[in-house]
Structure 1
């Protein structure tokens, strides 16, 4: 009896499928269902067809019978052919009522799975032998293949080159049981199994929220840019304009090419003075204590108080956009935009600036307090 008992995958590897008769198959015993399917799948590969799992009989919440069938067994259900509001055409029919199958049941006496019924008759033309490896039940990557692919990806080798290397090890592309697309699918599957950056960040933020805290970050590039261009710091918050309803704070500046550079970023749960004080202190720690000469904000009161407390010697100014908005909203005259922009962005000495300011105020005939 032991010669017909399949105990492991190694036993399946020792079987000579070319000389296996129907009588031999009906005498087989399997220690578990997984081995029964692996045997039938290996047998199908030598006969150029694909298999799939089919019906089960369950007794007392335990599987007692299982059928493995040819992938062409049965027919597509009619409801799938006549779906309402179908956008795409139905896929080509692949089932043609093939009767080939392996039916096993659990024998309580031998405590193994025994073949009850076996049929090896097909009612369609099988694929040519060299294409059998690409049928659905045979087309898969083994654990060693996946492991080798991952190691090669880590050193920067592309998927097509990895595929070529694996094909060389197998003796040619015709001996590889998967395609480049299967490799890409495997990589995507591994990525889905890992927590993404957003999930990790939100989990961290929820933990911080329980302790009424916030998050601030910067990297080495941010620190280098701040060391070179951090004399003028722009400090702005996007007011919960995201799906998580959290304020996003950006610290930025301008480099010697007049390009915007980011010094750091933060996500805060509120905009109280204490929150901004904490945030500016974290910026100082990250930037090794260097304070800016000028800080530009949108004029938020909590920001202004925090800047006075943390950056003692810094000049706090409104950004140009907010200055322009205030001017145009209070002085309703078309010429204001061009003249005020020229004055605001011009490189004037103090005396010249005061003179031009008085000229503009006189031109529009308004008082100083009306500008702000």
Structure 2
């Protein structure tokens, strides 16, 4: 048997194509070079490719490094097939079609013939992650490390690195926040689908006890929020509480049936907002924000307000002055307003009129208190 180097190891284009090719083959579906290229490029199917595989690196407008990398597909695909045939037999891969449209299908008895290579890749990745955890102990909340690495040599190694001043990653904000120590147990409650009884004090209200079905944790602007379903409360899903308002350690309620969120619910929940808040009856609006200086334009360009942000007008001289504009489609909430207003007179909301008026009223109210 030929001793091969691990086809999946490393960060090369060839290794990426090998991983995708192998995943297709062990699924026992017919696969072509075009299918592998399409997945690599993030397309839904090979029908979305602009060119054939052989022509792609000649005509594509992708950067030069990527174009050269695509050539590695023609090396990776046959090497994966050859490695499988060596392990399982020459008849383990069927071929169909001519050279231009040839497709391949794995039919061998072993469901994971290159498991040793794949596992070696995973182990290598875990080693890298372990080193990352050691080097970045200043980035994660201390309570997380104490919880997940309790009684482990790893925790001692991390503390030793910190004492020697050898950490190489840290956070820019103070992570010693109220109730931050609850994060690990809340994460485990979500993972194990455990209902929690939580004593909670909403702002300017009395303490209430919530029967909380936790679904999702999100940090925004240095504050952690827990989302889920609460018995007897609206909304049915996406009920939001801030960790710093929890009054005592959450208690597990194993006899209460857990209510999960609908599939992909939280994938969409944050799409139209900045931060964590949906205001009552709010709808997404198309908003134009003007950057009044080149510095501010580049700042917002490189640090977007929201994922929907695109450039409406590049910075430069226009008929009504020098500026650049961005467009966003979002719900207006306090987090969005705060994000814009923190930039002072460098940003201006131009439209729609009702959103501009809301900003104008906020600025007027701010001016009143400074008179």
TM-score bucket (shorter structure):
under 0.3
TM-score (norm 1): 0.20
Taking structure 2 as the reference length, the TM-score comes to 0.21
Bigger-Rg structure (1/2): 1
